[in-house]
Amino acid sequence: MKLRGHHLICLQFFKGKGYSKDFVNNAKKWVEFWESNSAEIVKNADDICSLCPFLKNGRCNHPGYKVDEIDELALTLLGLKTGDRVRKDFVKKYFPKIFKEWREKACKKCEWKKICLPQMDNIT
Ligand code: SF4
């Protein structure tokens, strides 16, 4: 399983919503898989992007996100790098240490924040 930097964090809050039916079904499959397997961190498109309507020629074309920057931010905050293998539980346990900065820098312009931010409100 391959995941890009910001998906390590965003998938912690996945609630079955997404850009299309195929996207959601694919994301559900990989989130479940990640529960009991490690993911390899990659640069650029990953297994979640693979069925995303914004993926064009192997690159993210979402007009609203600077994905490379938020990938880098996620890895810096989590102390990880491309090529590392990481379990979902590791990110879940680590996230309370970094969520204020993540929320401030990454979530503000995200179209999915209505789903994630209420869940982050429960983090103390
Ligand atoms: S919007 Fe971009 S980063 Fe997000 S899943 Fe689609 S291709 Fe990947």
pLDDT of residue 123: 81
Domain count, the chain: 1
Alpha carbon of 52 to ligand 1 centroid (Å): 6
Alpha carbon of 20 to ligand 1 centroid (Å): 12
Reported as a single tens digit per residue, the pLDDT across 32-42 is 999 999 999 99
**Helix crossing, 88-102 with 67-78: angle to 10°?**
110
Q: Where is 74: in which H helix or E strand?
A: helix 67-78
Checking if the pLDDT of 122 tops 90, the result is no
Reported as a single tens digit per residue, the pLDDT across 51-78 is 999 999 999 999 988 999 999 999 999 9
By residue range, what is the domain housing residue 81?
2-120
| Predicted model pTM | 0.95
- Number of the ligand 1 atom closest to the C-alpha atom of 62: 1
Residues of the chain above pLDDT 90, percent: 94
Q: From atom 3 of ligand 1, which residue's Cα is the shortest distance away?
A: 60
